[in-house]
Structure 1
Amino acid sequence: MENKFYTRTVNILLTLFLSTSIFASDNKILTNYRLHGIKNIEKALDKSLTETTYWKEYLKNKDTKFGYIESYTNILLCDKSKSELLIYSKDSNNTYKLRKEYSAFTGKLKGDKRKEGDLKTPIGVYDIIKKISKVDSFYGPMAFVTSYPNLYDRYEGKTGQGIWIHGLPTNQERDAFTKGCIAINNKSIECMNRNIDIKKTVLIIKENANDSTTPSKKTLSQLLSTLYAWRYAWLYNETENYLNFYAPEFKRYDGMDFKRFKKYKTRIFAKYESKTILFRNINIVTYPNMKSVYRITFDEEYKSNSFSFNGRKVLIVKLQDNKFNIITEK
């Protein structure tokens, strides 16, 4: 198992090495490899991923209207002010195109949801957790359960649950608003069911058209390069640099504040363990109605002598004065 993992890592590094012109002509890198082996190449490549020049070039022809997205094939965009729910799907050119447009009911009151029973539809970025095929007739033929309250909602102290995308009553009348859910007519929700894979779909809910969901490529380059700078500090046990990526007001998903988190990470980094950390399926989406707040998700593969992890990671990041600040993570 160990040999397979190492071989795969080497293959990734060599592929990146051969496909990146900045290294193809760098005799110092080749000399280091000749004299010291793959570890020197690995560290140099890890360092190069922290540079914005790489990411600016990489993003040049990418569709970034919703952010940097590797794993979502569908974007559900709800604009509360227009009472609409849109489906954007990735085409063969990896460009998001408007595919379906539905009229939608949302919460009775405007603004972001803060607590149970406030009759507001939340503003934010959500996953679709599951589909419920058998629901009360009031909700039409089916419902899609969202991840509200998500990591950022809980960090903000928001309460409530049961925010769904659902249909309309089949046997009764209803008001022209919801208690916080998103409701579309029954033909539309059946159409949506045919057109999305919930595991590859993200839901963005915004208050109005002025809540921009389009970050600049310059900003995305900065976020991606800083994400890998954070990884670099983590990978090479640079405790102080690593902790500098966290905001003083940081609070982890389980309530651990920055002071306790700092002690915890300092103790772990003091082991100076060699480790492998790989990120895949990275998605960076702008948080609507929030100034310079981004949700970053990715699949993380972590391996050291004392611990291994393979699963999903979520970071909520603020850009303040061009500084990357992690305010919560899971």
Structure 2
Amino acid sequence: MVRNNSEKNKKNQGTNRRSVLKNMAVLGALSAAAPRVGASPDDKNIKLGSVLSSPKVKRVKKAIPGLKLDRQNAAVFGKDGSLIVIPANYGKLLATTDNEAASFYFDEWVAGVDKNWPQEAEARLTAEGDGLLFQRGATDSEKRQFISAINRSEYDEKRTNVMVTPGRGEITFTHANHEEREVETLTAVTQQGFTESIQTQSVTEKGDTEEELTVVDRSTFTASDLTQTDSTSSGQTATTSGATIQAAPPGCHADAILDLVLCVTDYADCSFCFLASTLTGPVAVACWIIVCLDGGLSFAMEYLTDWGCYAFGEEVYDCLRYIVDEYGHLVPEPPTANG
């Protein structure tokens, strides 16, 4: 949950990424040598200044008033260091080293970013084309309203991620279906009046409009979307969504990755990693580890164990690292319209 700047709300806020990281005792005693992913830019020969001067990064930075980047603690992810993450006073800036994608994940509300951003909603700002795309989480009252509007009784409010893209008039729903072993993403569009209601709604209003949403896109992620070859042979490759990737390590087969996706979709307190169908599947898991857990594989394992929804033996760290390495560079990409 995103924090606003008032002392009262800071005291009453729910669990968020920063509070989790600051209270490691809740997760158990973790040693300094616990498995992590990420390296310094120098280790990968990445020129941080070049990345920060790219047009897309500059566009994102300019749109956030008072932004201060912590360049000293920048980290790169992926075998080739293709994703760079720079902590900031308001969250994290993510950019690809090829200068093709840049986004900022907020972990607190910031005045001046978007006039219709409710203070309790998390958000992401992404460079898209020559402009910027703002997306935010739905408030609790909006979530109830939106789920009712698409008439999906199986969508549990607590375990369905609902995101709003005001500039497109889109509402995106992400829901884990364990019986069918799939993650379903629905994109709905609003009527003009409903869009205006969303954009002008104050934080204290409940949004009592009864306009309907129209579902315009449905996509699913299943194990079949990860076509794996025999992972026991080094050098073999797998394909997913038309891209060629290195074969997963032993124990990290398609069904195991799907188990991870289902678990994180259901339980992770980091729903802005499910902003659109672009992030459905292992990309969302990579986002969760990079953005919400600062690259901590042990943090991820503690959560998975506590949730009791996922375990597959000693290979878990290798699988989590593989997912970050192979899919992490897709996290800052802008989602496509209508899913």
Query: Is the TM-score greater than 0.5?
Result: no
Point out the structure with max Rg over C-alpha: 1
The structure with more strand, counted as a fraction of residues: 1
Instruction: Return the TM-score normalized by structure 1.
Output: 0.27
